[in-house]
């Protein structure tokens, strides 16, 4: 029994260290992959695993007379959940959602701490110790809080009273509903049925699966299979056209959208709204390929009414590029960021 417990603690300890190294930023969060389609179950299982590890570690410590006080158990477990939500999950979840989960976790921890009368007493003890100043140390701590808390509150109120010099918020629909069809260079494209003529397999047929198969990491960053090189003269299928799209991109788009397609081009910050960051999961990854084709062709001035006030400087590229060039540059943008174009639901 002892051996099993110790082995469990060691395995759990290793998992914990891997996690903490990830938190420190020395390993990317994808080190241990989230299995696509099973992510929520996997996260729950991992959390349950860590709960078991903590229980085990704290049991072993207590047995050896090194028990961790209840108060710190609760606080550190809650901090652990917050770190887990922030550093384990990718693509990252927004702060507002993390705040909700964090609050729910806090309620959970609180219920766990106050579940039994004795536990609750033990949990409260350190707080009451400070309030009652039972030792000189606690007294010093109490004095410190008495001074620090008003200063912190003062800081918050000071900040909230500062006049705000930012320009007023402008509400604007970034991704308006697209038209049913769009006419580019005299040809009508029905957005629901058109497809990128260059997203083809080795036989020259439209093949979404084929192009996606060459990308091994979908959710963050891009990892192409080592044999997929668009610069190879023998490259097959759509890869041949990725290179041509790249040339068009670096002749026309990188000034605004950036060398890394992250929206930080040379001229980017002269504009408001700033050019789209294609590496962000909120742009290309969310859009159908024909939507992107339409946006590139028509630019900022071609946006529908809901995108008032049309402040976007995105040029209408149909005036400068051929239809084929637009399809190729769109292909390149998807290839470079490694995202799937969204399919029609
Ligand atoms: C003068 C700067 C500029 C240049 C050059 C430029 N863009 Fe843009 N682009 C923008 C701005 C600004 C936006 C974001 C505002 C908006 O939604 O229109 C944008 C948005 C886009 C979007 C929409 C993304 C989305 O999430 O809806 C696509 C696609 C795009 N650009 C592609 C291109 C391509 C392809 C080229 C080159 C052929 C290009 N852009 C060149 C400024 C530029």
Cα 86 to averaged position of ligand 1 atoms, centre (Å) = 30
The two tokens of residue 40 are 């929520």
- Closest-lying ligand 1 atom to the alpha carbon of residue 271: 12
Give the H or E element holding residue 116. Answer: none
Please tell me whether residue 203 adopts helix, strand or coil conformation: coil
Query: Ligand 1 pocket test: which of 244, 257, 335 has the largest number of ligand atoms within 8 Å of its C-beta?
Result: 257
pLDDT at res. 219: 52
As a whole number of Å, the CA-based R_g of the chain is: 28
Asked if residues 334 and 281 have their Cβ atoms less than 8 Å apart, the reply is: no
Residue 13's pLDDT is 86
- Backbone φ and ψ of 323, nearest 5°: -55, -45
pLDDT value of position 213: 79
The values of phi and psi at residue 341, to 5°, are: -65, 145
At 335 the pLDDT is 87
For 64-101, the pLDDT digits (tens) are 888 888 899 999 999 999 999 888 887 778 889 999 99
pLDDT of residue 222: 62
Distance CA 253, CA 285 (A): 18
The C-alpha atoms of residue 228 and residue 91 are separated, in whole angstroms, by 25
Rounded Cα distance between 259 and 254, Å, is 5
Instruction: Find the 271 Cα to ligand 1 centroid distance in Å.
Output: 11
Q: Is 288 in the pocket of ligand 1 (CB under 6 A)?
A: no
Nearest CA to ligand 1 atom 39: 253
Contact 287, 298 (CB under 8 A): no
Whether residue 201 contacts residue 237, with contact meaning beta carbons closer than 8 Å, is answered with: yes
- Residue ranges of E strands in 218-340: none
* Ligand 1 centre distance from Cα of residue 257 (Å): 7
Residues of the chain below pLDDT 70: 216-224, 226, 345
CA 195/CA 114 separation, integer angstroms: 59
Q: From the CA of 296, how far away is ligand 1's center (Å)?
A: 7
pLDDT at 312: 87
pLDDT for 290 equals: 94
Output the pTM of the full model.
0.61
Pocket test for ligand 1, best of 177, 198, 275 (most atoms within 8 A of CB): 275
| Residue entry with tokens 């990308």 | 215
Within 10 Å of residue 1's Cβ, how many Cβ atoms?
5
Amino acid 291: pLDDT: 94
How does pLDDT run across 170-202, given as a tens digit for each residue? 777 888 888 999 999 999 999 999 999 999 988
SS3 assignment, position 197 = coil
Q: pLDDT at position 217, please?
A: 62
Do 123 and 71 meet the contact criterion of CB atoms below 8 Å apart? yes
- Nearest CA to 304 out of 181, 179, 201 is that of 179
Strand partners, 342: 288
């Amino acid at each position: 029994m002892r051996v099993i417990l110790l082995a469990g603690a060691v395995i759990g300890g290793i998992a914990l260290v891997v996690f903490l190294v990830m938190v420190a930023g020395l390993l990317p969060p994808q080190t241990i992959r989230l299995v696509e389609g099973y992510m929520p179950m996997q996260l729950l299982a991992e959390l349950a695993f860590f709960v078991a590890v903590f229980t085990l570690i704290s049991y072993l410590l207590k047995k050896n007379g090194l028990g961790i006080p209840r108060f710190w158990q609760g606080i550190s477990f809650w901090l652990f959940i917050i770190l887990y939500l922030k550093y384990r999950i990718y693509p990252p979840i927004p702060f507002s959602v993390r705040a909700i989960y964090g609050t729910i976790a806090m309620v959970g921890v609180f219920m766990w701490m106050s579940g039994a009368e004795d536990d609750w007493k033990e949990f409260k003890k350190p707080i009451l110790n400070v309030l009652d100043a039972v030792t000189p140390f606690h007294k010093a701590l109490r004095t410190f809080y008495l001074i620090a808390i008003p200063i912190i509150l003062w800081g918050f109120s000071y900040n909230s009273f500062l006049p705000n010099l930012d320009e007023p918020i402008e509400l604007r629909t970034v991704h308006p509903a697209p038209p049913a069809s769009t006419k580019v260079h005299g040809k009508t494209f029905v957005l629901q049925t058109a497809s990128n003529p260059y997203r083809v397999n080795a036989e020259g047929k439209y093949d979404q699966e084929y192009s996606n198969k060459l990308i091994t990491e979908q959710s963050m960053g891009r990892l192409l299979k080592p044999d997929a090189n668009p610069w190879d003269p023998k490259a097959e299928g759509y890869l041949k056209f990725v290179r041509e799209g790249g040339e068009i991109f670096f002749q026309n788009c990188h000034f605004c959208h950036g060398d890394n397609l992250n929206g930080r081009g040379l001229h980017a910050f002269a504009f408001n709204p700033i050019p789209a960051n294609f590496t962000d999961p909120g742009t290309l990854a969310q859009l159908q390929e024909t939507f992107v084709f339409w946006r590139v062709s028509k630019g900022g001035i071609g946006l529908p009414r809901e995108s008032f006030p049309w402040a976007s400087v995105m040029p209408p590229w149909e005036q400068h590029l051929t239809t084929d060039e637009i399809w190729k540059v769109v292909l390149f943008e998807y290839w470079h960021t490694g995202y799937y174009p969204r399919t029609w639901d």
